[in-house]
Amino acid sequence: MNRRRRRKRIGVGRIVLIAALIIAVVVVAKVAHGASVNRANDASPNSGPADVSEELQAETGAGVVGIRPGAQTAAGPEDGREDGQVFLRPAPQETQEETGSEWPDEPGLAVGPAETEPPAPAIDPSQPMVALTFDDGPSATLTPRLLDILRDNGVHATFFVVGYNLDGNEAILQRAVAEGHEIGNHTMNHPHLRSLGSAELDQEIGAMRQRIVDITGQQVVPIRPPYGETNDTVDAHITDPVILWSVDSRDWADRDVGMACDHIYNDTFDGCIILMHDIHPETVDAAAIFIPWLKEQGYQLVTVSELGQYRSGGLNAGEHYFSIAAPETEAAETAPAETAA
Protein backbone atom coordinates (compact mmCIF):
# COMPACT_ATOMS: atom_id res chain seq x y z
CA MET A 1 0.00 0.00 0.00
CA ASN A 2 2.75 2.44 0.99
CA ARG A 3 4.66 1.44 -2.11
CA ARG A 4 1.72 2.37 -4.31
CA ARG A 5 1.44 5.79 -2.65
CA ARG A 6 5.11 6.51 -3.22
CA ARG A 7 4.79 5.57 -6.90
CA LYS A 8 1.77 7.87 -7.25
CA ARG A 9 3.65 10.81 -5.66
CA ILE A 10 6.61 10.19 -7.96
CA GLY A 11 4.31 10.21 -11.06
CA VAL A 12 2.68 13.50 -10.04
CA GLY A 13 6.09 15.10 -9.44
CA ARG A 14 7.27 14.06 -12.86
CA ILE A 15 4.20 15.60 -14.47
CA VAL A 16 4.74 18.86 -12.59
CA LEU A 17 8.41 18.90 -13.58
CA ILE A 18 7.61 18.28 -17.25
CA ALA A 19 4.99 21.06 -17.23
CA ALA A 20 7.47 23.48 -15.62
CA LEU A 21 10.06 22.65 -18.27
CA ILE A 22 7.52 23.25 -21.06
CA ILE A 23 6.55 26.63 -19.58
CA ALA A 24 10.19 27.62 -19.26
CA VAL A 25 10.88 26.71 -22.89
CA VAL A 26 7.90 28.81 -24.06
CA VAL A 27 9.00 31.82 -21.99
CA VAL A 28 12.56 31.61 -23.28
CA ALA A 29 11.32 31.37 -26.87
CA LYS A 30 9.15 34.49 -26.46
CA VAL A 31 11.99 36.46 -24.92
CA ALA A 32 14.35 35.46 -27.72
CA HIS A 33 11.76 36.40 -30.38
CA GLY A 34 11.20 39.83 -28.80
CA ALA A 35 14.90 40.52 -28.72
CA SER A 36 15.27 39.67 -32.41
CA VAL A 37 12.34 41.98 -33.31
CA ASN A 38 13.90 44.84 -31.36
CA ARG A 39 17.23 44.33 -33.08
CA ALA A 40 15.49 44.38 -36.48
CA ASN A 41 13.62 47.56 -35.65
CA ASP A 42 16.81 49.22 -34.46
CA ALA A 43 18.51 48.32 -37.72
CA SER A 44 15.61 49.52 -39.95
CA PRO A 45 13.07 51.79 -38.20
CA ASN A 46 10.83 51.90 -41.27
CA SER A 47 10.82 48.20 -42.01
CA GLY A 48 7.10 47.83 -41.27
CA PRO A 49 5.78 50.40 -43.74
CA ALA A 50 8.46 49.43 -46.26
CA ASP A 51 7.03 45.90 -46.29
CA VAL A 52 3.63 47.42 -46.99
CA SER A 53 5.09 49.52 -49.82
CA GLU A 54 6.66 46.41 -51.39
CA GLU A 55 3.29 44.67 -51.36
CA LEU A 56 1.60 47.70 -52.92
CA GLN A 57 4.28 47.99 -55.55
CA ALA A 58 3.90 44.31 -56.42
CA GLU A 59 0.12 44.69 -56.74
CA THR A 60 0.00 48.01 -58.64
CA GLY A 61 3.25 48.10 -60.59
CA ALA A 62 3.78 51.68 -59.43
CA GLY A 63 7.01 53.14 -58.22
CA VAL A 64 7.25 53.86 -54.51
CA VAL A 65 8.02 57.50 -53.80
CA GLY A 66 8.95 56.66 -50.24
CA ILE A 67 8.24 57.16 -46.59
CA ARG A 68 9.55 60.23 -44.83
CA PRO A 69 12.83 59.31 -43.05
CA GLY A 70 12.71 59.10 -39.28
CA ALA A 71 8.94 58.71 -39.03
CA GLN A 72 6.48 55.84 -39.19
CA THR A 73 3.84 57.98 -40.95
CA ALA A 74 4.24 59.73 -44.26
CA ALA A 75 2.15 62.71 -43.17
CA GLY A 76 0.07 63.87 -40.28
CA PRO A 77 -3.72 63.98 -40.13
CA GLU A 78 -3.74 67.74 -40.77
CA ASP A 79 -3.40 67.20 -44.52
CA GLY A 80 -5.97 64.44 -44.82
CA ARG A 81 -3.68 61.38 -45.05
CA GLU A 82 -3.80 58.47 -42.64
CA ASP A 83 -0.84 57.35 -40.54
CA GLY A 84 1.43 54.93 -42.34
CA GLN A 85 0.20 55.84 -45.83
CA VAL A 86 2.68 55.06 -48.59
CA PHE A 87 2.87 57.44 -51.53
CA LEU A 88 2.85 55.91 -54.99
CA ARG A 89 3.64 57.45 -58.32
CA PRO A 90 2.75 55.65 -61.57
CA ALA A 91 5.83 54.55 -63.49
CA PRO A 92 7.91 56.14 -64.87
CA GLN A 93 8.87 57.96 -61.69
CA GLU A 94 9.20 61.74 -61.74
CA THR A 95 12.36 63.34 -60.50
CA GLN A 96 12.64 65.96 -57.81
CA GLU A 97 13.42 68.55 -60.49
CA GLU A 98 10.12 67.77 -62.24
CA THR A 99 7.96 68.03 -59.12
CA GLY A 100 9.91 70.75 -57.31
CA SER A 101 9.75 68.79 -54.05
CA GLU A 102 11.10 65.51 -52.74
CA TRP A 103 7.95 64.75 -50.78
CA PRO A 104 4.33 65.25 -51.92
CA ASP A 105 3.34 67.39 -48.96
CA GLU A 106 0.49 69.30 -50.61
CA PRO A 107 -3.00 68.07 -49.67
CA GLY A 108 -4.63 66.16 -52.47
CA LEU A 109 -1.35 65.48 -54.30
CA ALA A 110 -0.41 62.23 -52.57
CA VAL A 111 -0.67 60.29 -55.84
CA GLY A 112 0.35 61.38 -59.35
CA PRO A 113 2.01 64.50 -60.79
CA ALA A 114 1.04 68.04 -59.79
CA GLU A 115 -1.58 69.79 -61.87
CA THR A 116 -0.49 72.65 -64.14
CA GLU A 117 -2.46 75.44 -65.82
CA PRO A 118 -3.27 74.81 -69.49
CA PRO A 119 -1.20 76.89 -71.92
CA ALA A 120 -2.75 80.05 -73.36
CA PRO A 121 -4.40 79.47 -76.74
CA ALA A 122 -2.26 80.42 -79.74
CA ILE A 123 -3.26 83.37 -81.91
CA ASP A 124 -4.46 82.41 -85.38
CA PRO A 125 -3.60 85.25 -87.81
CA SER A 126 -6.22 84.02 -90.26
CA GLN A 127 -9.04 84.55 -87.77
CA PRO A 128 -10.66 87.87 -86.71
CA MET A 129 -8.94 89.80 -83.94
CA VAL A 130 -9.40 93.12 -82.17
CA ALA A 131 -7.35 95.15 -79.71
CA LEU A 132 -8.98 96.24 -76.45
CA THR A 133 -7.41 99.38 -75.00
CA PHE A 134 -8.05 101.05 -71.65
CA ASP A 135 -6.99 104.62 -70.85
CA ASP A 136 -6.33 106.83 -67.81
CA GLY A 137 -5.47 104.16 -65.24
CA PRO A 138 -4.30 102.40 -63.34
CA SER A 139 -7.06 102.45 -60.75
CA ALA A 140 -6.14 100.83 -57.46
CA THR A 141 -9.51 99.08 -57.26
CA LEU A 142 -10.93 98.86 -60.77
CA THR A 143 -7.86 97.82 -62.78
CA PRO A 144 -7.25 94.67 -60.69
CA ARG A 145 -10.90 93.71 -61.19
CA LEU A 146 -10.50 94.20 -64.91
CA LEU A 147 -7.31 92.12 -64.92
CA ASP A 148 -9.24 89.32 -63.24
CA ILE A 149 -11.88 89.45 -65.99
CA LEU A 150 -9.24 89.41 -68.73
CA ARG A 151 -7.41 86.52 -67.06
CA ASP A 152 -10.58 84.48 -66.58
CA ASN A 153 -11.42 84.91 -70.27
CA GLY A 154 -7.88 84.19 -71.46
CA VAL A 155 -7.51 87.47 -73.41
CA HIS A 156 -5.03 90.35 -73.55
CA ALA A 157 -5.37 94.14 -73.65
CA THR A 158 -3.29 97.33 -73.72
CA PHE A 159 -3.41 99.85 -70.88
CA PHE A 160 -2.51 103.47 -71.66
CA VAL A 161 -1.61 104.83 -68.24
CA VAL A 162 -1.12 108.36 -66.90
CA GLY A 163 1.68 109.46 -64.62
CA TYR A 164 -0.47 110.88 -61.83
CA ASN A 165 -2.00 107.42 -61.24
CA LEU A 166 1.27 105.48 -61.05
CA ASP A 167 2.51 106.13 -57.52
CA GLY A 168 1.52 103.22 -55.32
CA ASN A 169 0.11 101.27 -58.27
CA GLU A 170 3.35 100.05 -59.80
CA ALA A 171 2.55 96.45 -58.84
CA ILE A 172 -0.63 96.61 -60.92
CA LEU A 173 1.42 97.40 -64.03
CA GLN A 174 3.85 94.62 -63.22
CA ARG A 175 1.00 92.16 -62.80
CA ALA A 176 -0.51 93.26 -66.11
CA VAL A 177 2.75 92.67 -67.97
CA ALA A 178 3.27 89.32 -66.23
CA GLU A 179 -0.16 88.21 -67.42
CA GLY A 180 0.55 89.08 -71.05
CA HIS A 181 -0.87 92.58 -71.30
CA GLU A 182 0.84 95.69 -72.63
CA ILE A 183 1.43 99.10 -71.02
CA GLY A 184 1.20 102.23 -73.13
CA ASN A 185 2.09 105.90 -72.58
CA HIS A 186 -0.82 108.32 -72.03
CA THR A 187 1.48 111.13 -70.76
CA MET A 188 2.23 112.37 -67.28
CA ASN A 189 -0.73 114.71 -66.78
CA HIS A 190 -3.15 114.13 -69.69
CA PRO A 191 -2.68 117.60 -71.26
CA HIS A 192 -3.60 118.94 -74.69
CA LEU A 193 -0.21 118.24 -76.26
CA ARG A 194 -0.64 120.65 -79.17
CA SER A 195 -0.61 123.54 -76.70
CA LEU A 196 2.76 122.63 -75.14
CA GLY A 197 6.29 123.74 -75.91
CA SER A 198 9.25 121.50 -76.56
CA ALA A 199 10.44 121.19 -72.94
CA GLU A 200 6.93 120.40 -71.71
CA LEU A 201 6.47 117.78 -74.42
CA ASP A 202 9.71 116.10 -73.35
CA GLN A 203 8.41 115.91 -69.80
CA GLU A 204 4.95 114.68 -70.70
CA ILE A 205 6.08 112.13 -73.28
CA GLY A 206 9.73 111.25 -72.70
CA ALA A 207 9.75 111.24 -68.89
CA MET A 208 6.54 109.22 -68.80
CA ARG A 209 7.94 106.71 -71.25
CA GLN A 210 11.03 106.19 -69.09
CA ARG A 211 8.87 105.72 -66.01
CA ILE A 212 6.99 102.88 -67.72
CA VAL A 213 10.25 101.27 -68.87
CA ASP A 214 11.61 101.41 -65.32
CA ILE A 215 8.49 99.78 -63.86
CA THR A 216 7.74 97.15 -66.50
CA GLY A 217 10.93 96.56 -68.43
CA GLN A 218 9.13 97.11 -71.76
CA GLN A 219 11.40 98.49 -74.46
CA VAL A 220 8.64 99.53 -76.85
CA VAL A 221 5.97 101.71 -75.23
CA PRO A 222 3.19 102.62 -77.65
CA ILE A 223 1.72 106.06 -77.00
CA ARG A 224 -1.82 107.39 -77.19
CA PRO A 225 -1.92 111.21 -77.18
CA PRO A 226 -4.66 112.49 -74.86
CA TYR A 227 -7.85 113.33 -76.78
CA GLY A 228 -6.16 111.90 -79.87
CA GLU A 229 -4.47 115.29 -80.42
CA THR A 230 -1.21 115.39 -82.31
CA ASN A 231 0.65 117.43 -84.93
CA ASP A 232 4.12 117.59 -86.43
CA THR A 233 5.57 119.23 -83.34
CA VAL A 234 4.11 116.56 -81.05
CA ASP A 235 5.16 113.76 -83.39
CA ALA A 236 8.76 115.02 -83.34
CA HIS A 237 8.92 114.09 -79.64
CA ILE A 238 7.48 110.59 -80.11
CA THR A 239 9.76 107.57 -80.62
CA ASP A 240 7.12 104.82 -80.47
CA PRO A 241 4.03 103.77 -82.44
CA VAL A 242 1.06 106.14 -82.04
CA ILE A 243 -2.13 104.24 -81.21
CA LEU A 244 -5.47 105.93 -81.83
CA TRP A 245 -8.79 104.06 -82.19
CA SER A 246 -11.54 103.05 -84.58
CA VAL A 247 -14.29 102.03 -82.12
CA ASP A 248 -15.26 104.40 -79.31
CA SER A 249 -17.32 102.79 -76.54
CA ARG A 250 -18.15 106.28 -75.25
CA ASP A 251 -17.89 104.95 -71.72
CA TRP A 252 -16.27 108.27 -70.82
CA ALA A 253 -19.47 110.15 -71.78
CA ASP A 254 -22.35 107.75 -71.12
CA ARG A 255 -21.12 105.97 -67.97
CA ASP A 256 -23.66 103.25 -68.75
CA VAL A 257 -22.99 99.51 -68.97
CA GLY A 258 -25.62 98.76 -71.59
CA MET A 259 -24.69 101.67 -73.85
CA ALA A 260 -20.99 100.78 -73.76
CA CYS A 261 -21.83 97.21 -74.71
CA ASP A 262 -24.13 98.37 -77.53
CA HIS A 263 -21.39 100.52 -79.09
CA ILE A 264 -19.07 97.52 -79.11
CA TYR A 265 -21.74 95.11 -80.38
CA ASN A 266 -22.63 97.43 -83.26
CA ASP A 267 -19.25 98.86 -84.26
CA THR A 268 -16.62 96.14 -83.78
CA PHE A 269 -14.90 94.79 -86.90
CA ASP A 270 -11.86 92.68 -87.66
CA GLY A 271 -8.66 94.60 -86.90
CA CYS A 272 -10.31 97.43 -84.98
CA ILE A 273 -8.88 99.16 -81.91
CA ILE A 274 -11.49 99.67 -79.18
CA LEU A 275 -11.28 102.65 -76.81
CA MET A 276 -12.34 102.29 -73.17
CA HIS A 277 -11.30 103.63 -69.75
CA ASP A 278 -10.53 101.48 -66.70
CA ILE A 279 -11.30 104.29 -64.25
CA HIS A 280 -15.09 103.88 -64.49
CA PRO A 281 -16.87 101.03 -62.66
CA GLU A 282 -19.41 100.83 -65.49
CA THR A 283 -16.58 100.04 -67.91
CA VAL A 284 -15.35 97.13 -65.83
CA ASP A 285 -18.91 95.81 -65.43
CA ALA A 286 -19.41 96.09 -69.18
CA ALA A 287 -16.15 94.24 -69.86
CA ALA A 288 -17.47 91.21 -68.01
CA ILE A 289 -20.36 91.16 -70.52
CA PHE A 290 -18.90 92.13 -73.90
CA ILE A 291 -15.63 90.18 -73.66
CA PRO A 292 -17.36 86.76 -73.62
CA TRP A 293 -19.67 88.03 -76.40
CA LEU A 294 -16.73 89.05 -78.58
CA LYS A 295 -15.19 85.62 -78.09
CA GLU A 296 -18.47 83.96 -79.04
CA GLN A 297 -18.43 85.96 -82.29
CA GLY A 298 -15.01 84.48 -83.08
CA TYR A 299 -12.84 87.48 -82.22
CA GLN A 300 -9.41 87.02 -80.68
CA LEU A 301 -8.68 89.78 -78.16
CA VAL A 302 -5.04 90.89 -78.31
CA THR A 303 -2.72 93.77 -77.44
CA VAL A 304 -2.10 96.46 -80.03
CA SER A 305 1.45 95.16 -80.55
CA GLU A 306 0.13 91.63 -81.08
CA LEU A 307 -2.42 92.97 -83.56
CA GLY A 308 0.37 94.78 -85.41
CA GLN A 309 2.65 91.77 -85.33
CA TYR A 310 0.12 89.28 -86.67
CA ARG A 311 -1.43 91.63 -89.23
CA SER A 312 1.43 93.73 -90.56
CA GLY A 313 4.64 92.23 -89.21
CA GLY A 314 4.96 94.77 -86.40
CA LEU A 315 4.26 98.40 -85.51
CA ASN A 316 6.45 101.22 -86.80
CA ALA A 317 7.74 104.01 -84.58
CA GLY A 318 5.97 107.30 -85.23
CA GLU A 319 3.28 105.76 -87.42
CA HIS A 320 -0.37 106.43 -86.49
CA TYR A 321 -2.69 103.42 -86.16
CA PHE A 322 -6.50 103.57 -86.03
CA SER A 323 -7.04 99.92 -86.95
CA ILE A 324 -4.94 97.15 -88.45
CA ALA A 325 -6.94 95.03 -90.85
CA ALA A 326 -5.77 91.92 -92.64
CA PRO A 327 -3.83 92.95 -95.79
CA GLU A 328 -6.49 91.72 -98.21
CA THR A 329 -9.29 93.63 -96.41
CA GLU A 330 -7.42 96.72 -95.31
CA ALA A 331 -9.46 99.85 -95.95
CA ALA A 332 -8.61 103.53 -95.83
CA GLU A 333 -8.29 104.76 -92.27
CA THR A 334 -9.91 107.93 -91.04
CA ALA A 335 -8.99 109.89 -87.94
CA PRO A 336 -11.42 109.53 -85.03
CA ALA A 337 -13.35 112.45 -83.62
CA GLU A 338 -11.64 113.95 -80.61
CA THR A 339 -12.95 112.54 -77.33
CA ALA A 340 -12.00 112.49 -73.68
CA ALA A 341 -9.50 109.66 -74.27
How do the domains of the chain map onto residue ranges? 1-28, 47-99, 129-329
Q: Is the pLDDT of residue 96 over 90?
A: no
Q: Is the pLDDT of residue 34 over 60?
A: no
**In the structure, what pLDDT confidence band is assigned to residue 329 with cuts at 50, 70 and 90?**
low
Q: Is the pLDDT of residue 313 over 90?
A: yes
Question: 181 an active-site residue?
Answer: no
Where is pLDDT greater, at 283 or 60?
283
Q: Highest-confidence range of 80-89, 104-113, 209-218, by mean pLDDT? A: 209-218
Helix extents (H) in the chain: 2-43, 47-60, 96-99, 142-153, 170-178, 198-201, 208-216, 232-235, 251-254, 257-267, 281-296, 304-312
Q: Are 230 and 193 in contact (CB under 8 A)?
A: yes
Question: 277 an active-site residue?
Answer: yes
Q: Is the pLDDT of residue 16 over 80?
A: no
Out of 11-20, 104-113, 187-196, least confident range = 104-113
Q: What is the pLDDT of residue 52?
A: 36
SS (H, E, C) 37-56: HHHHHHHCCCHHHHHHHHHH
For the residues 252-278, what does the mean pLDDT come to?
97
Q: Are 264 and 144 in contact (CB under 8 A)?
A: no
Candidate list 251, 277, 278, 280, residue with the active-site label = 277
Half-sphere exposure of 27 (CA within 13 A, CB side): 6
Pairing of strands 242-243, 320-321: parallel
Q: Is the pLDDT of residue 69 over 90?
A: no
Three-state DSSP state, 61: coil
Where is pLDDT greater, at 184 or 331?
184
Q: What is the pLDDT of residue 82?
A: 37
Q: What is the pLDDT of residue 120?
A: 55
For the residues 69-92, what does the mean pLDDT come to?
35
**Residue among 172, 163, 135, 153 nearest 283 (CA):** 135
Q: Is the pLDDT of residue 293 over 80?
A: yes
Q: What is the pLDDT of residue 327?
A: 75
CATH number of the domain located at residue range(s) 129-329 in this protein? 3.20.20.370
Q: Is the pLDDT of residue 260 over 80?
A: yes
